[in-house]
Amino acid sequence: MPAQLIDGKVMAASIRRQVANDAAALLQTGLGIHLVAVLVGHSPAARVYADNQARTCHDLGIRYSLLELATDITQSRLNAELARLAADTTVTGIMVHLPLPAHLNTQETQYAIDVLKDVEGVNPANIGHVVYGHTIIAPCTALATVELIESTNVPLRGAEVTVVGASRIAGKPIALLLTERQATVTLCHIHTRDLCVHSQKADVLVVAVGKPGLITAHHIKPGAVVIDVGINRVAAANSQGHPVEKTVGDVDFPSVLPVAGWITPVPGGVGPMTVAMLLKNTLRAARLVHKLEKPF
């Protein structure tokens, strides 16, 4: 029997409805939700993303502002802008579009995002809190991954989980959140000697690398939950044989489908859930700023 699809779009839609309801309840008490997205320079792709974000926030009753800054802004000026947003009591959420121009330091910039307003959970302090299991605001992709796994009802406590890819923004926080849920977690990276040894024992396999086709059927334990975080644009042909680009994950979906028990598609799996987690975090940040919830 082929694997069951874990439908990130359906789950994300349900989370958005919940966020819309919670946002309406907050607004009724007279408290605001205001997300400010910072965009340095003039990237058309980031602009499209920001426009989509603005529409989504508007639909959910969340005020959204885009703060556009000049490409040649200095690091100290950018830090000062972030400090100003941190101090502004009308702003409840802050995010910075990446990538930044090469002369700016991403980590220094993320340090400058107020910890309580950091809706993407990218401030190293927020990533660090994952270690202590009492996240203030956790990284969106890691939250999305955990929710997708939990939707299968496969118990995480005691499960063998292998995470492939060890970046600060995806693989490592995912591994930490799953460790908190008492799974036995193996974290694989570029120097892992034999990936198959670790992937084949996994009840849950999470792949966050950025290499299409890295994981094929022979990597999979039959019946495993497979979460594909990767997003890759690859060349393909349309039905008329014309060259087109399509989006695929890191998992060779057609070969893994008959072996796995559950699998996330790409697109339509982790991607929409990561966006939904950003919205959930935006609500959490507003509640933290308004002191309706405690950080710990």
Q: Does 188 bind ligand NAP (CB under 6 A)?
A: yes
Nearest-approach distance from CB 277 to ligand NAP, in angstroms: 9
Residue found under tokens 């334990």: 221
Instruction: For residue 32, state whether it binds ligand NAP (rule: CB under 6 A).
Output: no
Cα–Cα separations (whole angstroms), residue 296 to 95, 136, 235: 21, 7, 46
Q: How far is the CB of 24 from ligand NAP (least distance, A)?
A: 27
Whether 192 and 198 have beta carbons less than 8 Å apart is answered as yes
C-alpha to C-alpha distance for 213 and 266, rounded to whole angstroms? 12
Q: Considering the complex, what minimum distance in angstroms separates the CB of residue 22 from ligand NAP?
A: 22
Which segment (48-56, 93-101, 155-163, 270-278) binds ligand NAP by CB under 6 A? 270-278
One-letter identity of residue 131: V
Q: Which is nearer to ligand NAP, 91 or 166 (CB)?
A: 166
Q: Which of residues 208-267 bind ligand NAP (CB under 6 A)?
A: 208-211, 214, 229-232
| 286 touching ligand NAP, by CB under 6 A | no
Tell the smallest beta-carbon distance from residue 70 to ligand NAP (Å).
Answer: 26
How many residues touch ligand NAP under the rule CB under 6 A: the total is 25
Which of 15, 104, 127, 164 forms a contact with ligand NAP (CB under 6 A)? 164
What's the closest the beta carbon of residue 290 comes to ligand NAP, in angstroms?
28
Residues 6+ apart with CB under 8 A from 123: 110, 111, 113, 114, 115
How many whole angstroms separate alpha carbon 146 and alpha carbon 178?
Answer: 7
Give the list of residues 6+ apart from residue 130 with CB closer than 8 angstroms, or none.
138, 139, 142, 173, 176, 177, 180
- Total residues found in the chain within this entry: 296
| Span from 40-48, 74-82, 93-101, 162-170 in contact with ligand NAP (CB under 6 A) | 162-170
Residues 226/264, Cβ–Cβ less than 8 Å: yes
Judged by beta carbon, residue 92 or residue 264, the one nearer ligand NAP is 264
Q: Is 276 in the site for ligand NAP (CB under 6 A)?
A: no
The H or E element spanning position 175 is helix 171-180
State the residues that interact with ligand NAP by CB under 6 A. 141, 164-167, 169-171, 188-190, 192, 195, 208-211, 214, 229-232, 270-271, 274
